[in-house]
Amino acid sequence: MTQYGKVYLVGSGPGDPELLTIKARRLIDTVDVVVYDQLPGKAILDSIPSGTEKINAGKHSGEHTLKQHEINAVIVEKAKEGKSVVRLKGGDPYMFGRGGEEAQELIEAGVQFEVVPGITSAVAVPAYAGIPVTHRDHASMVTFITGHEDPTKDESALDWKTLANFNGTIVIFMGVKMLGRNVGELMKNGKDPQTPVALIERGTRPDQRVTIGTLENIEAIAKERGVKTPAITIIGDVVKLHEELGEQFLSE
């Protein structure tokens, strides 16, 4: 029987190298191959041992080093060569990270795999900016949505009417490009235009930047400040806590 290697779908956390899990660190340091995205950030990528085979599968908006089917093929191929492989992703591999799709491919190929959860940016990035996603005085619920749906879908799977009436915190992943559409849909469906919004770029890293506004004006403010990916969008009353709890990240 052919002996394949094993693939680890590893979440690297939101970017601060000290937020890597102990297990993630051990695997990165010991496997044969690391197939990585750009989201883990330079500090983590630079820490991959020099003797490890590194394959850049980085994906940016509109620019892919490898397409998803090519990434799937690479991790299967390397495992079938008998190598141990870390598929390194930002945040958590199963939180809008397409880790589930890669796991399905590995099962189909008969390759053993293991998921290594990571700290999701949906919680950690707002926390570093002084914004708890839940707070007894402001929000008892939180929902996570993607700012970029599958472009092949005939229609959006997001229920904007329900989201507009959601009395909690909304966290949008990678939504800078579609910011105007997202805030517009919320207001069109009845969300108060004065609802606070925070955009947090390069969260948990030394150059983290926070931009504050409301549904009504955040698009104009983001354009003026040149907000770029990677960024997380937080919508809801918890954003008001930024000024009190996140003084080191005040946007003024």
Cα 104 to Cα 26, 97, 192, 202, distances in angstroms:
25, 13, 41, 30
Within its chain, how far is the Cα of 168 from the centroid? 20
Instruction: Return the SS3 of 124.
Output: helix
- Kindly give, in sequence order, each residue whose CB lies less than 8 Å from that of residue 57, ignoring residues fewer than 6 positions away: 35, 36, 37, 65, 66, 70, 71, 74
Range list of H helices, 129-207: 160-164, 179-188
Q: Order across the sheet with 231-235: list the strands.
A: 142-146, 169-173, 231-235, 196-201, 209-214
Strand partners, 145: 172
Q: How far apart are CA 89 and CA 97, in angstroms?
A: 7
Which amino acid appears at position 82 of this protein? G
Q: Is residue 206 exposed (0-12), middle (13-18) or buried (19+ Cβ within 10 Å)?
A: exposed
Catalytic one of 78, 92, 174, 178: 174
Active site residue 174: yes
Pick from 185, 180, 168, 190: which is nearest to 213 by CA? 180
Catalytic one of 59, 83, 177, 240: 59
Catalytic one of 37, 92, 178, 191: 37
Q: For strand 33-36 and strand 85-89, is the pairing parallel, antiparallel, or unpaired? A: parallel
Q: How far apart are CA 232 and CA 202, in angstroms?
A: 9
Active site residue 59: yes
Catalytic residues: 37, 59, 174
